Amino acid sequence: MIFHSLGKYILLLKAVFRRPEKWNIYRREIFKEMDSIGVGSLGIIAIISVFLGAVTTVQTAFQLVSDLIPKSVIGSIVRDSSILELSPTISAIVLAGKVGSSVASQIGTMRVTEQIDALEIMGINSPGYLILPKIIGAVTTIPLLVIISIGLSIAGGYLAGTASGATTSQDFITGLTTDFIPFTFTVSMVKAVIFAFIITSVSAYQGFYTDGGALEVGQSSTRAVVISCIMILFADYVIAQVLL
Amino acid sequence: MIKIHDINKTFGDNHVLRGISTEFRDGVCNLIIGGSGSGKTTLLKCMVGLHEPEIGSVIYDGRDFTRMKFEERIDIRKEIGMLFQGSALFDSMTVEENIMFPLNMFTEQHRKEKLERVNFCLERVNLEGKNKLLPAELSGGMKKRVGIARSIAMNPKYLFVDEPNSGLDPKTAIVIDELIQEITEEYNTTTIVVTHDMNSVMGIGEKIIFLHQGEKWWEGSNKEIAHTDNKELNDFVFASKFMEAAKAKL
């Protein structure tokens, strides 16, 4: 069963990357998706990022009981946690819920209302027209969202640390600027691109093969989120193992 | 002309179509009728390539569609117009964008020319000025007419219509039937209509194929249908008392 689904997923991707009928129409769709996925998710990503950084600061400070460890470590931990794990992975999981369910239900509804059949009848490569702009839109905007998320997460950590007295401004900035390894940012961007691909392609697959009516569209949407989350965490482990 | 030969289609253990062969002529309304689950829509979908038959061939003016690859089928698909049961209009697009969509995809016309074509198609289905409405703002009958307008936008040689009257009141259903017939005669298209509406059968059925349990049970015209002694067909067509009374008068 799993190999059957994997085979169908690969065949769908093959159709997605077939040469587009008209690039200017695809380009318009790509910009639409960039706006919907990128700009449309900015609010939620901003909110969760600030709180992620804040919680990391408070919890790290709580665990630093030894006087031998300088408080500046909090800044370093918030920075590295945000870059390596919190911003790319938690953002991706939140986006799997927001973007993934939307992609699956949109395409699933088009399937059950025969709109995909209508595209096929016209001679249009429906996987390409419907899914390629979403994948390109996601892999270009989600890394940007992750960069914004990193910045806001660190800012949230700084605000929470200084406001609660867990660390001083000076200590936090010292920690932030000490021993920074630029490669961690590269790893973060690799994660963002791969997670963006997983969210859109897995969700589109679930929507594209929806069979039935409104109930099945809902089920496809739920499956899209669950499978995307599992795949994101699996890919997270593989990337960490391979790159770090 | 479209010829189908020995079409067989199964879904799992369910043998939906069993060896169906026939010809559909140009410039007339060819009807596929039958009860629910008889395989009408499946046959239509096999003909346009939305389903792949296990055995059999579909030949469009000498071109074997079933043996073609995806890329090869595109040329024939550009010659096909189809009206779906639920109209299948793109929700996110206006009426104008829906009709213009195939023109945008497959022609190099300027926007002005495309707009002229859209307006012509809308006029043809008596929906002038409705360009900017969204599908959600249209009634069932209007959606069907926009669906017809979209299907004729590319001047199709072959027109497929799936249950054009489902969910429509009798008066609107007749308007849609007449429109399909007029377009068929005007453009000399090979039109294939799947229906179980008896008004359509008697009104526009110049050639009728009756499917029963996945097999072609009867073939003829609306003039012949009243005099057939085929039991299953009689049970289907003259099921209502009204139709029975109408038959007695014929």
B106, A118: Cβ pair inside 8 Å? no
Distance CA A157, CA A178 (A): 16
A118: nearest CB among B49, B88, B105 = B88
Q: What is the mean pLDDT of chain B?
A: 88
pLDDT at A199 over 70: yes
* Summary count for chain B: helices (H), strands (E): 10, 10
- pLDDT of A21: 84
Q: pLDDT tens digits, residue range B83-109?
A: 998 889 999 999 999 999 999 988 888
Q: How far is A110 from chain B (nearest CA, A)?
A: 8
The alpha carbon dihedral of A67, A70, A72, A78 has a sign of negative
A117, B89: Cβ pair inside 8 Å? no
Q: Which two tokens stand for residue A17?
A: 């990357």
For an interface test with A, which of B105, B159, B160 has the most A Cβ atoms less than 10 Å from its Cβ? B105
- pLDDT of B250: 58
For chain B, give the percent of residues with pLDDT over 70.
95
Q: pLDDT tens digits, residue range A90-140?
A: 999 999 999 999 999 999 999 999 999 999 999 899 999 999 999 999 999
- pLDDT of B239: 67
Long-range contacts of B222-227 (CB under 8 A, 24+ apart): B225/B201, B226/B250
- pLDDT of B36: 86
Q: Is B178 left (phi over 0), alpha (psi -120 to 50) or beta?
A: alpha
B104, A125: Cβ pair inside 8 Å? no
- pLDDT of B171: 82
- pLDDT of A1: 79
Chain A residues contacting B, CB < 8 Å?
21-22, 25, 109-110, 113-115, 117-118, 120-125
For residues A162-189, average pLDDT: 93
For residues A26-35, average pLDDT: 95
- pLDDT of B143: 93
- pLDDT of B70: 81
pLDDT at B247 over 90: no
Q: pLDDT tens digits, residue range A42-64?
A: 999 999 999 999 999 999 999 98
